[in-house]
């Protein structure tokens, strides 16, 4: 495996691990503040990010690279509001998308079409996740500070259909 690409993929492992830890922390906050639907949503998101991380790790190792399990700092665990929670969610997804785009760009520079092909799965996944994050934030903006709106948002969050 091209060393520069191996380094970028290992960086990506770290971003997925960080996203997983961040969403787990967000799930905990939601759980202890009575938002059970939102907690379930972020527990599931956290799990998904872990799956993304493992998929990268296996790919690196199978291609004669060396995957590095990253050290992760403690994520933020207190949030001012649901709005802040979902703003962080969208920012986090946008950040990951930008990093994936960098990897894709690098693959083209090095003419590494194998990794380029592998990364297409992440491109599609990010498209979907960003769409979900944007839709949820838009809904919260409509709801504003309305408590019964928050109640319904929490109740229904796992049933929203989002077209990416
Ligand atoms: Fe890993 O899918 Fe979002 O960040």
In the predicted model, is pLDDT for residue 15 greater than 70? yes
In Å, what is the CA distance from 96 to each residue of 1, 6, 103?
22, 17, 11
How far is CA 8 from its chain centroid?
17
Residue 97 Cα: closest atom of ligand 1: 4
How many alpha carbons fall within 13 Å on the CB side of residue 113? 0
Per residue in 45-88, pLDDT (tens digit) is: 999 999 999 999 999 999 999 999 999 999 999 999 999 999 99
> What pLDDT score was predicted for residue 137?
97
Per-residue confidence at 162, pLDDT binned at 50, 70, 90? low
Please tell me the distance from the alpha carbon of residue 4 to that of residue 132, in angstroms, as a whole number. Answer: 32
Which candidate, 40, 53, 42, 46, places its Cα nearest to that of 9?
A: 53
pLDDT value at 155 more than 80? yes
Give the torsion sign (CA, 27, 148, 140, 125): positive
Query: 125 C-alpha to center of ligand 1: Å?
Result: 7
Alpha-carbon gap, residue 63 to 33, rounded angstroms? 44
Between CA 9 and CA 2 the distance in angstroms is 11
Question: pLDDT by residue (tens digit) across 102-134?
Answer: 999 999 999 999 999 999 999 999 999 999 999
Are the CB atoms for 116 and 107 separated by under 8 Å? yes
Q: How far is the CA of 96 from the centre of ligand 1 (A)?
A: 6
Res 164 pLDDT > 60: no
pLDDT digits (tens, 9 = 90+) for 29-48: 999 999 999 999 999 999 99
Q: Judge if the beta carbon of residue 125 lies within 6 A of ligand 1.
A: yes
* CA atoms within 13 A of residue 52's CA, in its CB half-sphere: 32
What per-residue confidence (pLDDT) applies to 160? 78
ipTM for the complex shown = 0.95
Q: Which residue has the tokens 């929490």?
A: 154
Cα of 49 vs centre of ligand 1, distance in Å, is: 6
Q: Which 8-state DSSP code applies to residue 118? A: H
Q: What is the mean pLDDT of the chain?
A: 96
């Amino acid at each position: 495996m091209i060393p520069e690409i191996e380094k970028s993929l290992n960086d990506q492992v770290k971003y997925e691990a960080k996203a997983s830890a961040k969403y787990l922390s967000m799930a905990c906050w939601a759980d202890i503040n009575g938002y059970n639907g939102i907690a379930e949503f972020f527990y599931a998101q956290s799990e998904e990010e872990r799956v993304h991380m493992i998929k990268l790790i296996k790919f690196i190792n199978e291609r004669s690279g060396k995957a590095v399990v990253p050290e992760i700092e403690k994520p933020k665990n207190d949030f001012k509001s649901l709005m802040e929670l979902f703003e962080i969610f969208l920012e986090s997804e946008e950040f990951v998308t930008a990093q994936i785009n960098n990897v894709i760009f690098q693959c083209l520079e090095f003419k590494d079409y194998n990794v380029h092909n592998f990364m297409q799965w992440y491109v599609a996944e990010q498209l979907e996740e960003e769409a979900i994050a944007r839709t949820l934030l838009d809904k919260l903006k409509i709801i504003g500070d309305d408590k019964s709106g928050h109640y319904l948002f929490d109740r229904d969050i796992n049933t929203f259909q989002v077209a990416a």
